[in-house]
Amino acid sequence: MAQVESFSLDHTKVKAPYVRKAGVYTGPKGDKVSKFDLRFTQPNKEFMNSAGMHALEHLMATYMRDYLEDIIDLSPMGCRTGFYLTVWGEPDVKDIISGLEKTLKEVVKATEVPATTEVQCGNYLEHSLEEAVGYANKLLSQGISDKVFG
């Protein structure tokens, strides 16, 4: 059976919020892809509501590209405690944190959630701008660490 990196992380010992480099993968032609764990809430203690997290995903996917290069994808975690960010290359965690902070400052100023029509989104009715802004404000006030274990 394949080993899943995130299943090896002791979720009882991490201290959110944080950003960690969860892995670097090398393609057959030598291309590097990095995966980052953007942890917003404390695992098994708090989680984001679906509508707020969904709106936050849309907002971050839009704004983050203004502050970070080579983004492949931003994906919500099924446990609803954060997101995975996948990028080309091997950027430093501190650069990802800086880009995330700038992105969240844009989120708190947002007046609408992008791409929320039936054509653009597979669950277009489930978005909460108010919750997304609340999550962004909370993270900005707490500060984002590069220390996974506090």
Q: Give 32's Cβ-side CA count (13 Å radius).
A: 6
Whether 8 has a pLDDT exceeding 90, the answer reads no
**Chain segment 77-129, per-residue pLDDT in tens:** 999 999 999 999 999 999 999 999 999 999 999 999 999 999 999 999 999 99
What was the pLDDT predicted at 48?
A: 98
Distance CA 22, CA 85 (A): 10
Whether 5 has a pLDDT exceeding 90, the answer reads no
Predicted TM-score (pTM) of the model is 0.95
Whether 50 has a pLDDT exceeding 90, the answer reads yes
What residues contact residue 73 under an 8 Å CB cut-off, 6+ apart? 84, 85, 86
Distance CA 61, CA 75 (A): 9
Whether 135 has a pLDDT exceeding 90, the answer reads yes
Mean pLDDT of the chain: 96
Q: Is 101 helix (H, G, I), strand (E, B) or coil?
A: helix
**Chain segment 70-84, per-residue pLDDT in tens:** 999 999 999 999 999
